[in-house]
Structure 1
Amino acid sequence: MDLTMVLFSFFGGLGLFLFGIKSMSEGLQAVAGDRLRVILEKGTKTPVRGVLTGAIVTALIQSSSGTTVLAIGLVNARLLTLRQSIGIIMGANIGTTLTAYLIGFKLEHYALPIIALGVFFLFFFKTKRINYVGQVILGFGLLFYGMDIMGDGLNPLRTSPFFIGLMSDVENNPLLGVLIGTVFTVIVQSSSATIGVLQELANQGVITYSQAVPILFGDNIGTTITAILAGIGATVIAKRAAATHLMFNLIGTAIFLPLFLMGIFPKLVILLTNYIYILIPGFEGTWNTLGIKLQIAQTHGVFNLLNTLVQLPFIGILAVIVTKLVPGEQELIIDAKPKYLEPRLLGNPSMALANASRETLRMGRMAGNAFENSKLYFANHTQQNKQLTGQFEDVVDQLENQITDYVLKVTAGKSLTSEQTDQNYRILQAIGDIERVGDHANNLVELTDYAIDSNVKFSEQANNDLMNMFTKVQEIFTMSLEVLKTDDIALSEKVLKYDDIIDDLEITLRKGHIERLSQGTCNGSHGATFLNIISNLERIGDHAVNIAKYTLLHRKD
């Protein structure tokens, strides 16, 4: 056995396989676009719907990690609750089994033509959607080509005394198999890849079915590392969602590994194969007529399906347990979903636009909260304020899209009065400025992070100047929201005059900064950070003025 060729073939094939999975997943996600987020948000009203949604989305994008990370992001943004995310995570485990089924069909001989077709779509068309389809096809072909190369590399292991001894140890000690599967998947960060390797090892006769199953359980545990990494630095509730993914697979292994050792689980798999899974494409009869690759895929599918059915009734208990395991302070609950965009009012433009105005004002308050927390983070460096800034900013982004869609539906194909047309214009303009305020709040957090990481320490005078400007900008933005609410002409004019104070303050602070630079009390790194902060603050003031102007122009007209 040439060890070098074994290693080269194995790692080269694994690299192609991983790249194929990544390319296919990214292409599918690009084709789906923002619809995936919408599907996850709307498909979680009940635990069963959450499971179905998670399974469908994962089957579409061929990545349980991608679905789980997306669910954690939505939890972090308060668009999903912990209980809703648990259903999606359970469903993701079912959806990811599709990859193993695909690998189970022997398509290695067609890999090169599939790759050629993918490249043709990718490089000979200018349409983005066709390019994404080409990326999916290319990834699909590389997946099987990588499997073929891996198979050639793994074949000699059948006669390796070391590997034969290791697999014998796995058969005698199934927990070792679970550990091997877990560690390998943690390293590769793709259960689809490690299960593919497992299928190929079995196909080459290197391992038996009974040796493969404990490793299969470990693969399911190891895949949770991606969700755990995604939870780092996120909110407590997002960390709990990531922990749930790990706990779900650990509990599943604790239940089904003993059943496997007692011979019960294999009988369940065979029973389901013979009497229920008769609709599988390529199905030829019974369990015994399936190839070893499809037998492993079937075992993977049955394990995740039964594990979900067993744990689904206990989602509430899982949420309570994970809350105890991942303690944290009671967090502010942000209601991220729109309150006033009532679809049943779309036929009544006056009422619908009035409600859209209320939602716009609510969006403005969210942006104000993001700015307030960015100010507190700059002053105190408290992580909770940093996280809240990001959460409020995420909600602001979501609301901008939802308000825009709602207003466009209100006005589409309808004859509006001049007042309604004006209100429509003001809403669409205002939400653009409000969204930019959220972006600048996020910028201020990033600048504060840079100052912390680079050990930038401002002088007492510089700190006082910055906090003074934070306060002034906060005042003008609060006034602009009041103008948006009341259409107060006098207050609108006050905001415009107040903007001059902000502009003068920025000029004064810049001069003071230049003096500190010339006196050597401030270096270039300090100076750049200082200038960027006051620049972002000044722009927030500008957006506040824009919001007030829309009312002023409306009244003057």
Structure 2
Amino acid sequence: MTTLLNLLSALALLVWGTHIVRTDVLRVYGAQLRRILSTSIKRRSLAFLAGVGVTSLVQSSNATAVIVCSFVAQGLVGLTPALTIMLGADVGTALMTGVLSFDLSWISPLLIFGGVVVYLSRRHTSTGRLARAVIGLGLILLALEMITAATRPMIQGAGIKVLFSTLTGDIILDALIGAVFAMLTYSSLAAVLLAATLATSGIISLKVALCLVIGANLGSGILALLTAASQNVAGRRVALGSMLFRLSGAIVVLPFIHYIELWIALLGKDLRLSVVAFHVLYNTVRCGLLLPLVEPMSRLCVRLLPESQKDEEDAAVARHLDLAAIDTPSLALANASREVLRIGDLIEKMLLSLLPVIRDNNQQRAQQIRKLDDDVDKLYTAVKMYLARVSREELNEKEVRRWTNIVTLTINLEQAGDIIERIVKGIESKKIALQRSFSAAGMNEVCEMHARLVASLQLGLSVFLDGDLKSAQKLLAEKEAFRDLERAYSKTHLTRLAGETQQSIETSSLHLDLISDMRRMHSLFCSTAYPVLDEAGMLRRSRMDIGDDPVVVQERQEFGDYSHPP
């Protein structure tokens, strides 16, 4: 039992080490690696080499697959170069397996010790993250040594040999076991290295190890398919093509595994190197032969996964929330910012449709506003869940502020959508249903406030995007002017009531609620100015306190602290 626990813990350490290396390399160099993948598509050879290089650094073809699938899903990369990159990724992970197969146990303590020292002293910097990747590499080497040590006593156990001989009765079952293990460990590298170690220890034969290697490649392809399931059709095609490439290689090679075993055995008596050499040769030859077939495979994937009308028309589907960028905080925040701007565009459409509802009793526009508000709610939820997956512990001070600003604007825009929908309900019940109308003067006031509301939304989104100080100052001044305008129009409305204007009397409650809701929305749109002014040290203390202003008190009560700086 102790031996088995030692083996399982060594496997867990191997998986954890590969995870640390992949995660921290992507966090430090994720933007550069993604740029390499997205720009090396003009020539097939460059795309192939880009796949080899990036996968060698992150030590995971699955990580490369996630990035490439997201690029294709967003229309940044075509399907043919994406499949070329994936073939290069298969070669890259095989080459890294070959490097790690050498006896590097002597360097493991140095990597772990040096990495820990640097990481503890510079934890929240890029150097600290690279140091953690070095620790992960040291853990991988240590885990391989532990696996070798744990399997030595297992050679003496007859029960273990019987168990493995029972589980590996034929080549198909061997390949399936390899695929399952690669999926459980989320790493074909771990599966191949384990197969090589078990073969060296005499627990499994060379033929079984070779079948496990082929199965590990299939398992990695299945993982890519499962990961790409959340992408649109274009993204799923990449994973499908890569899987078909892997499956075709297995179908061709497995029937001849007995002959390949004899040929591989001639390479030397070291079974560990023999298994790893087969892994490198198998992927290199397979990908080299399949490289000219990427275009036919692209056409086949398009036929197998045709574009659906729903994918083309669904505007509420998030377009920029790339899950592959989660491990690269700067990219993840940039993607979330782009999606929030989409929400802002939907709010602008709602505002532009609101005026015909108020002025012309347009019921069709009212229905359009309800549909747009549903889309806003869906995107709001998507952005919120996406940002929740970004680890705030890994963000620097500037990124934390940006994360907070994105969350704040997302909440404010969602609240603005709810306010617009509430205005529409009020118009329908108090104006359209009762066949009432605003006075000409009252309608002119509403139109003027609406125009300034739309302009402030556009300016607020611009401030959020570029952080321009002058625009932020203009936005804050506009907020004060809009508040004064609301108070002035409330007084003029009361004056019309005193003059017993019939239309004003009939729509008094609706009119006051409408301009009050517009002021609330305007405050939400102007909130993007506060972080910019605060960072520049230009935010007056009076702006940061609630004070005795009843309007500000009401805003705080209704919207929390999102309309104002903390």
CA-CA distance at 1:242 after TM superposition: 2.1
Structure 1 residue aligned with 2:289: 310
Contact 1:82-1:319 at 8 Å conserved across structures: yes
Question: d(CA) in 1 for partners of 2:200 and 2:232?
Answer: 44
Partner residue in 2 for 1:379? 371
The structural deviation recorded for 1:180 is: 0.4
| 1:472 Cα deviation after fit | 7.9
CA contact (8 A) 1:10 1:154 kept: yes
Question: Which residue of structure 1 lines up, in the alignment, with residue 204 of structure 2?
Answer: 207
Which of 130, 134, 138 is matched with 2:135 structurally? 138
Per-residue displacement from partner, 1:438-464 (whole Å, max 9, x unpaired)?
Answer: 98896689999xx9xxxxx99985774
Partner of 1:409: none
Cα shift at 1:170 = 6.8
Which of 196, 217, 220 pairs up with 2:214? Answer: 217
Write the distance in 2 (CA, Å) between the matches of 1:13 and 1:364.
42
Q: Secondary structure at the match of 1:288?
A: coil
Structure 1's unaligned 5+ residue stretches are: 271-285, 337-362, 395-434, 452-456, 485-491, 509-533, 545-557
TM-score by length of 2: 0.60
Q: For residue 190 of structure 1, report the CA deviation from its aligned partner.
A: 1.0
Counterpart of 1:548 in structure 2 is: none
The residue that corresponds to 1:319 in the other structure is: 298
* Counterpart amino acid of residue 292 in structure 2: P
Q: Contact 1:200 / 1:293 at 8 angstroms: preserved in 2?
A: yes
Instruction: After superposition, give the CA deviation of every residue in 1:223-277 in whole Å (9 maximum; x if it has no partner).
Output: 124423332322111122222232221121112222334x25864x68xxxxxxx
Q: Is the 8 A contact 1:97 1:301 kept in 2?
A: yes
2:151 is equivalent to residue 177 of structure 1: no
2:149 corresponds in structure 1 to 152
Give the structure 1 partner of residue 356 of structure 2: none
For residues 188-231 of structure 1, what are the alpha-carbon distances to aligned partners after superposition, in whole Å with 9 as ceiling and x for unaligned?
11111111211110121111211111111110111124423332
Secondary structure at the aligned position of 2:268 is classed as helix
Structure 1 Cα separation of the partners of residues 15 and 369 of structure 2? 40
Identity %: 20
Matches within 5 A, 1:527-538: none
Please tell me whether the aligned partners of residues 34 and 67 of structure 2 are also in contact (alpha carbons under 8 angstroms).
yes
Task: Measure how far apart 1:496 and its partner are.
Answer: 6.4
What is the Cα deviation at residue 500 of structure 1?
3.9
| Superposition TM-score, scaled by structure 1 size | 0.61
Tell me how far 1:108 sits from its aligned partner.
2.6
1:407-426 maps to which residues of 2 (within 5 A)?
Answer: none
Corresponding residue of 1:38: 35
Residue identity opposite 2:102 in structure 1? F
Query: 2:359: which partner in 1?
Result: none
Contact 1:122–1:132 (Cα < 8 Å) also in 2: yes
On the 8 A contact 2:207/2:261 being kept in 1, the answer is: no
SS at match of 1:44: coil
- Residue in 1 aligned with 2:77? 80
CA shift in 2, pair 1:370/1:92, >3 Å: farther
Deviations 1:454-510 (Å, cap 9, x if unpaired)?
xxx9998577479999x98995489779x99xxxxxxx99x96999499969xx9xx
Q: Which residue of 1 aligns with 2:443?
A: none
Q: Is the 8 A contact 1:368 1:477 kept in 2?
A: no
**More deviation in 372-381 or 61-70?**
372-381
- Aligned counterparts of 1:443 and 1:47: Cα–Cα separation in 2: 44
Which residue, 15, 35, 59 being the options, matches 2:12? 15
Gaps of 5+ in 2: 320-336, 351-367, 387-402, 429-445, 464-473, 491-518, 530-566
Larger Rg over CA atoms: 2
- How much has 1:93 moved relative to structure 2? 0.7
Q: The residue matched to 1:153 in structure 2 has which SS?
A: helix
Deviation at 1:91, TM superposition (A): 0.9
1:175 deviates by 0.3
Alignment partner, residue 282 of structure 1: none
RMSD (Å), alpha carbons: 5.1
2:51 paired residue number: 54
Q: Which amino acid aligns with 1:327?
A: P
Aligned pairs for 1:343-492 (under 5 A) are 367=341, 371-372=345-346, 379=371, 461=422, 464=425, 476=455
Q: Is the 8 A contact 1:195 1:216 kept in 2?
A: yes
State the SS of the aligned residue for 1:287.
coil
Q: CA deviation at 1:322?
A: 1.9
Q: Which residue of 1 aligns with 2:268?
A: 288
User: 1:162 and 1:319, CA in 2 relative to 1: closer, same or farther beyond 3 A?
Assistant: farther
| Contact 1:370 1:441 (C-alpha < 8 Å) held by counterparts | no
